Amino acid sequence: MEQNSLIKGKIHYVGVNDRSKYLFEGMWPLPYGVSYNSYLIDDEKVTLVDTVDINFFEVYINKIKRIIGDRAIDYLIINHMEPDHSGSIRLIKQQYPNIIIVGNKQTFGMIEGYYGVTGQQLLVKDCDTLDLGYHKITFYLTPMVHWPETMMSFDTTEGVLFSGDAFGCFGALNGGFIDTRINTDIYWDEMVRYYSNIVGKYGSPVQRALQKLNGLPMTAICSTHGPVWTDHILKVGSIYDKLSKYESEEGVVIAYGSMYGNTEQMAEVIAEELSAQGIKNIVMHNVSKSNASYIIADIFKYKGLIVGSPTYSNQIYPEIESLLSKILVREIKDRYLGLFGSFTWAGAAVKRMVDFATQSKYELVGDTVEMKQGMNDIIHAQCKKLGRDMAQRLIADRK
Ligand code: FEO
């Protein structure tokens, strides 16, 4: 019997670590890797909760067999169908042909569509229960956290929540998988980045899920990415609560594009004035160097956003255009916005970015600043004023 994998009761961790993938979803960097978590409940009814990316199936099945040997698995609970978790369903079904797949009415069509897997199913509705012997599982449907079929499974015996993507973070697990046995420092920023990049659009569904879970006597949160949370349940809950309400701290993200350093000089003047006015949290991102993943995470953190773009072929600079699109897709709410930019013979970027202000419904702070060619005293003063106006708007919110 494998004991290092035990979480509590008869629940084991059987997840895997991916330290090879560069970009999650083909977009988001993974400097610390990522884990795909799955859980095995070695009860009278042996039960698997979610699976792992198919590329790790051999490691995964060996972990399972080290715990249950040649015994069969009775149930496979599918909380979420995104392929980083559902990828091994077909191979699990081949290993355990009599396994009963547990899901809701949104789940089974996806299983057949992705993997051609049919067979024995147990359809559950909100608050249905499943008795495994020692452990008793209650299901909570939590659509759009982060796909339509997502649900969570709560073990009422030990107070363990299998939460799917919710409460997850980037970062592989280095040895230990429970927060009490590892240094958790790297995971907090990686949680903000994970939430803002992956789940960020779904603030309202996350809020509804948090309300549904409110009051459950949780002793552990077992999500599909990152550590099992036991000591930090309140902290993790409060991070997800704050992010899903789009709550922000005092501070400003200045995101700019600059081909030859002229727009960058404007950004520097604005930032210096913000600092001179008493704003301490100022994050500057050259969009051609900073990956959008980190810029979006910072925009989730801070109330102020100042965007600078050169005019490029009569358009917004493409890297800025891409960032603005990512912001709109995530429907990040309630920010203060400043705009600036530059051009050589005909200005277009700043005018076009005003459309972004309308679409995002952000409060436009100060006057937009548009520079022809290089810095001069007039533009310098206008940039300072934009920095000052943003600082004063933020300071006015101090209690
Ligand atoms: Fe980790 Fe939405 O999948």
Q: Which domains does the chain have, with CATH numbers?
A: 6-244 (3.60.15.10), 249-393 (3.40.50.360)
- Nearest CA owner, ligand 1 atom 3: 82
Contacts with 234 (C-beta within 8 Å, 6 or more apart), sequence order: none
Say if ligand 1 is within 6 A of residue 135 CB.
no
Q: Give whole-number Cα distances, 359 to 255, 321, 328, 329, 380, in Å.
A: 18, 13, 8, 11, 29
CA of 92 to the centre of ligand 1 (A): 19
CA-nearest of 305, 272, 313 to 287 is 305
Query: Which is the closest atom of ligand 1 to the Cα of 150?
Result: 2
Q: What is the residue-level pLDDT of the chain in tens, covering all 399 positions?
A: 668 999 999 999 999 999 999 999 999 999 999 999 999 999 999 999 999 999 999 999 999 999 999 999 999 999 999 999 999 999 999 999 999 999 999 999 999 999 999 999 999 999 999 999 999 999 999 999 989 999 999 999 999 999 999 999 999 999 999 999 999 999 999 999 999 999 999 999 999 999 999 999 999 999 999 999 999 999 999 999 999 999 999 999 999 999 999 999 999 999 999 999 999 999 999 999 999 999 999 999 999 999 999 999 999 999 999 999 999 999 999 999 999 999 999 999 999 999 999 999 999 999 999 999 999 999 999 999 999 999 999 999 997
Query: Does residue 82's CB lie within 6 angstroms of at least one atom of ligand 1?
Result: yes
Q: The tokens of 18 are what?
A: 């991916």
Q: Does ligand 1 come within 6 angstroms of the Cβ of 298? A: no
Q: Tokens standing for 232?
A: 């930090």
Quote the CA–CA distance of 177 and 34 in Å, as a whole number: 12
